[in-house]
Chain A
Amino acid sequence: MNHDINIKKLRINCFRQSKVPGEFMLQMRCPGGMIDAKYLSFVQHIAETWGDGSFHIGTRQSLDFCGIKYEDIPAVNAYIRTYIDEIENGVCQVGMEVDEHGYPTIGARNITACIGNHHCICGNINTFELARKIEPLIFPSHYHIKINIAGCPNDCNKAHLCDFGIIGTAKIDYHPERCIGCGACVRACEHGATRVLELNADGRVEKDPCCCVGCAECVKACPAGAWTRRPEPFYRVILGGRTGRQTPRTGKVFLNWASEEVVLAVIGNWHKFSAWVMDYKPEYLHGGHLIDRAGYKKFKELILDGVELNPECLVAEDIYWHETEYRSNFNVKPMRMHHHAGPSNG
């Protein structure tokens, strides 16, 4: 083989180099991991026409096709135009230009999601609908961010191992007039959550709200409907988790009890933050590294710029990547309680 191929350019076009020279793997975005089943015929056609006949579900829930010959890429790109347009513009309202040249920016950092409350009895939120709302904020762009959405604090989708992990939570209301004092919630919390409930001498349940993770296991367990979710969903945002050869780590809580508007507004600031950190020259870097480079305090300033926090929303004053936090979440608090560094403005 004697090709002259710009593999970096192809990577941005969502074709990844194979160990077989001249072959590439196409990675198609699938925001929230949810598409109509009708696209499976698309998948089959691509794999059987240009690929090696197989199909891989990417680790970030992309649709991956191996064995695509370099010379077939234009034909493949022409064919996937419909898919890109229908998914990105139709389903996700991205409003991007779609032509016969395929993806305009690297799409491998697909927004992943568990099945969420579309199906799961544990899910607090519709995960893929959130993914579809986030998609226009982060794609297409040369600044990358890995976002994982988990429907509940069980975090099956590993929100703790990506730049921005979003976990669906619920604020729970207690209706003592419906409580029979059976302790089912207390046992459920002890067994499956953070042991924040206790049955008191009056046969009523007391809660340590600080350590409640908002999973709603109490709601599921209650035979009498004495615990109910508030109608509006809440989110916990986990920041800076990553894998990698050098410094893998688990993310930490950045926002707790954020509203959907806040989550979207914060993600909307990601470009601005990334661009500032990299002096407006996109690099192939995990978002977590950008946070490290800027420092959390600077990150917080830029990412919350113009964001109006909902009253329930708590923000990490610092991120303690390694320190032992004796009290879980003690550091996640209302912004007015954050300490100020440097000269005072007034």
Chain B
Amino acid sequence: MGYLIGKGEDAAFWAKLRQDYDIYAPKRFPKQGRFSDTDIIRYDRVESGAEIVFDEKSDYPAKEVLTPICQAILYFTEDEYRASKASQRPILLFMRPCDIHAMQHQEKIYLENGGVADLYYRRMRERVHIVLMECSEGWDTCFCVSMGTNRVEDYALAVRQTEQGLLFDVREDALKTYFAGQPAADFQPVFVEKNSVSVTVPEIADKELLLKLKEHPFWQQFNGRCESCGACTIACSTCTCFTTRDVIYGDNPAVGERRRVTSSCQVSGFDDMAGGISFRKDAASRMRYKMLHKFRDYKARFGDHHMCVGCGRCTDRCPQFISVTATLEKMAAAVAELSSASK
């Protein structure tokens, strides 16, 4: 059953929805881009559909809603730590299929890895109701079809932007009341069936091959090319790495907060240990570490699928124009070369 929320006649609809839900969606921040007079599109709380950007891919992913870049996790005084509080309000989170898959991939780490669920992720995740933003075309950096993340069956709402307004497919019963009295419309979301780029993730047969791949000279091209800025991992829909940092309030070292701050395996210092030891000292080894996580290691641990969802945001945001699909092709060529040499 679908509904049309007509443009210009939707104020009451959004007001009612807002009463009960926090609505998060990609929103335009004018002139806040990397270069002057360019915009940025990122997730934020919105008041109505008019604020939601449908016709462009957001620069930053939906994960920022579930795992903010900075998050207070504990507050401390001399003899006590206590957990930060979180809102109980449900969230309607507008996401494209890639972002929805990315959330499911991240859940494996936050909720399942090590048999322990992370409190902070769990309490946010439990608030989220998925709103599928129909994505039928994609963009030139997308490769969701190759990664199997182009379709989503399970959602609370699905939405399509049209000239007349927003078409909704309502799956979750609790949401049906908000659509009562709205004009019915025939709407089922369609999905991207073909991207302009397609990739084949190489199979890395065994650990011996993996060791050889790590040492393959093709990674060296990223030294001098990649700046190790980490923009790819911040923009990544699936990267989860964070650092814990204590911040002291004012000049009293006994009072403060513990924060979880997004970190990046691409930034120098990620693997630094006390005593000056670090493991991945150059851009090439950091790129190798990231690529293998996205296209081998995650799947090796969690089984079903690769970590990467093919959203292409890393390619979009790379200031040095390093394309993840081109890099994957190079990696595949290296794997093929090593595989044939070992036969």
A and B touch in the complex (CB under 8 A): yes
Spot the interface stretch: B133-141, B261-269, B328-336.
B261-269
**A229 interface contact, C-beta 8 A:** yes
1/0 contact string of A301-345 vs chain B (CB within 8 Å): 000000000000000000000000000000000000000000000
**Chain B residues near A (Cβ < 8 Å):** 29-32, 34-37, 40, 42, 59-60, 68-70, 229-231, 233-234, 243, 245, 247-248, 261-264, 267, 269, 317, 319
Pair B247/A202 contact, Cβ less than 8 Å: yes
Q: Kindly list chain A residues whose C-beta atoms are within 8 Å of the C-beta of B269.
A: 182
> In the complex, what's the smallest C-beta–C-beta distance from B234 to chain A, in angstroms?
5
Residue from the set B35, B36, B234, B269 with the largest chain A CB neighbour count within 10 Å: B36
- Inter-chain contact total with CB atoms closer than 8 Å: 85
Q: Kindly list chain B residues whose C-beta atoms are within 8 Å of the C-beta of A271.
A: none
Spot the interface stretch: A31-39, A100-108, A116-124.
A116-124
Q: Kindly list chain B residues whose C-beta atoms are within 8 Å of the C-beta of A203.
A: 245, 247, 261
Pair A176/B40 contact, Cβ less than 8 Å: no
Q: Kindly list chain A residues whose C-beta atoms are within 8 Å of the C-beta of B31.
A: 228-229, 231
Pair A117/B35 contact, Cβ less than 8 Å: yes
> In the complex, what's the smallest C-beta–C-beta distance from B287 to chain A, in angstroms?
15
> In the complex, what's the smallest C-beta–C-beta distance from A216 to chain B, in angstroms?
7
Pair A180/B234 contact, Cβ less than 8 Å: yes
Pair B69/A179 contact, Cβ less than 8 Å: yes
Measured in the bound complex, the distance between the Cα atoms of B231 and A243 in whole Å is 44
User: Taking A202-B245, A221-B229, A225-B60 as contacts, is the C-beta distance between A180 and B34 under 8 angstroms?
Assistant: no
Measured in the bound complex, the distance between the Cα atoms of B319 and A221 in whole Å is 9
> In the complex, what's the smallest C-beta–C-beta distance from B249 to chain A, in angstroms?
10
Q: Kindly list chain A residues whose C-beta atoms are within 8 Å of the C-beta of B319.
A: 220
Measured in the bound complex, the distance between the Cα atoms of B243 and A220 in whole Å is 23
Q: Kindly list chain A residues whose C-beta atoms are within 8 Å of the C-beta of B264.
A: 180, 182, 223
> In the complex, what's the smallest C-beta–C-beta distance from B266 to chain A, in angstroms?
8
Picked from B42, B230, B247, the residue with its CB within 8 Å of the CB of A180 is: B230
1/0 contact string of A114-151 vs chain B (CB within 8 Å): 00010001011110000000000000000000000000
User: Taking A180-B264, A181-B261, A202-B245 as contacts, is the C-beta distance between A228 and B32 under 8 angstroms?
Assistant: yes
**Chain A residues near B (Cβ < 8 Å):** 117, 121, 123-126, 168, 170, 176-182, 184, 201-204, 216, 219-226, 228-229, 231, 233
Pair B245/A223 contact, Cβ less than 8 Å: no
> In the complex, what's the smallest C-beta–C-beta distance from B240 to chain A, in angstroms?
13
Pair B70/A170 contact, Cβ less than 8 Å: no
Pair A223/B30 contact, Cβ less than 8 Å: no
Residue from the set A121, A168, A170, A178 with the largest chain B CB neighbour count within 10 Å: A178
Q: Kindly list chain A residues whose C-beta atoms are within 8 Å of the C-beta of B262.
A: 180, 224
User: Taking A223-B229, A224-B262, A225-B32 as contacts, is the C-beta distance between A178 and B247 under 8 angstroms?
Assistant: no
Residue from the set B34, B59, B264, B267 with the largest chain A CB neighbour count within 10 Å: B34
> In the complex, what's the smallest C-beta–C-beta distance from A229 to chain B, in angstroms?
6
Measured in the bound complex, the distance between the Cα atoms of B32 and A123 in whole Å is 14
Q: Kindly list chain B residues whose C-beta atoms are within 8 Å of the C-beta of A225.
A: 32, 34, 40, 42, 59-60
User: Taking A202-B247, A223-B231, A225-B60 as contacts, is the C-beta distance between A180 and B35 under 8 angstroms?
Assistant: no
Pair B245/A181 contact, Cβ less than 8 Å: yes
Which chain B residue lies CB-closest to A200? B247
> In the complex, what's the smallest C-beta–C-beta distance from B122 to chain A, in angstroms?
22
User: Taking A225-B60, A229-B31 as contacts, is the C-beta distance between A178 and B70 under 8 angstroms?
Assistant: yes
Q: Kindly list chain B residues whose C-beta atoms are within 8 Å of the C-beta of A231.
A: 30-31
> In the complex, what's the smallest C-beta–C-beta distance from B243 to chain A, in angstroms?
8
Measured in the bound complex, the distance between the Cα atoms of B103 and A312 in whole Å is 44
- Other A-B contacts than A177-B69, A182-B264, A231-B31, 11 sampled, CB-CB below 8 A, are A117-B37, A121-B35, A179-B70, A180-B264, A182-B229, A184-B229, A203-B245, A225-B32, A226-B69, A228-B31, A228-B40
